[in-house]
Amino acid sequence: MPATTISNLTDLLQSLLADLYATEQAIIAALPEMIDDTMDTKLHDALQEHLDTTKEQLSRLETINTELEFSTTKDAEGIDAIIHATQQIVNAIIDSATKDAAIIAAAQKVEHYEIASYGSAAEFARQLKFNSVASLLETTLGEEKDADAKLTSIAQGGLFQKGVNEKAVEE
Ligand SMILES: [Fe+2]
């Protein structure tokens, strides 16, 4: 695909939105396999809930597209690379508690990519006075931050510890 010319902040925002649209689609495609791989019920439920949220985030981007048109056919290069690399790690792990830890690490990597992208896009939209676009992006940004915080609390709430203890019992 030929590179789109970016000559101003609006073009840059449209390019970010095109990437986010491709990103959310890639996440919707990748999450079910990650959910199937989880053993911890809290992690399983959090990821399942995030899959539903992600579908809403995609439709929020479709709403944005009616006000500020962007390409919906871009490749999700950034997130595809993260997903591919993390899937290889998850697939290489046999121990289920370690697999859960790898899934949390993978999901948080994805969240941080989205937080950075939505944060920039919301700020650009605000600067450019696309106020309704900015507030839709801020809603999604808040959801991504919540998802990230939830993953941290699941990890700190005993998931890693459980893996360590199970290992200790086995040995
Ligand atoms: Fe998302």
Neighbours of 146 (CB within 10 A): 13
Q: Which fold has domain 9-170?
A: Ferritin (1.20.1260)
Helices (H) and strands (E) in the chain, counts: 6, 0
Rounded Cα gap, residues 166 and 5, in angstroms: 54
Nearest 5°: the CA angle 74, 150, 140 is 35
pLDDT value, residue 166:
57
From ligand 1's centre to the CA of 142, what distance in Å? Answer: 10
Neighbours of 133 (CB within 10 A): 24
Q: Which residue has the higher pLDDT, 14 or 158?
A: 14
From ligand 1's centre to the CA of 169, what distance in Å? Answer: 38
Q: Supply the mean pLDDT for the chain.
A: 92
From ligand 1's centre to the CA of 168, what distance in Å? Answer: 37
Rounded Cα gap, residues 109 and 115, in angstroms: 10
From ligand 1's centre to the CA of 110, what distance in Å? Answer: 8
From ligand 1's centre to the CA of 152, what distance in Å? Answer: 17
Rounded Cα gap, residues 97 and 102, in angstroms: 9
DSSP string, 77-117: HHHHHHHHHHHHHHHH--SHHHHHHHHHHHHHHHHHHHHHH
For the whole model, what pTM was predicted? Answer: 0.89
From ligand 1's centre to the CA of 114, what distance in Å? Answer: 6
Two tokens at 131?
A: 């106020």
pLDDT digits (tens, 9 = 90+) for 3-20: 568 999 999 999 999 999
φ, ψ for residue 39 (rounded to 5)?
Answer: -105, -35
pLDDT digits (tens, 9 = 90+) for 94-146: 999 999 999 999 999 999 999 999 999 999 999 999 999 999 999 999 999 99
Two tokens at 136?
A: 């839709």
Say which residue the tokens 């944060």 belong to.
119
Residues 6+ apart with CB under 8 A from 112: 148
Task: Give the closest residue to 112 by CA, choosing from 139, 151, 73, 74.
Answer: 151
pLDDT value, residue 157:
81
Q: Which residue has the higher pLDDT, 157 or 141?
A: 141
Band the pLDDT of 1: cuts 50, 70, 90.
Answer: very low
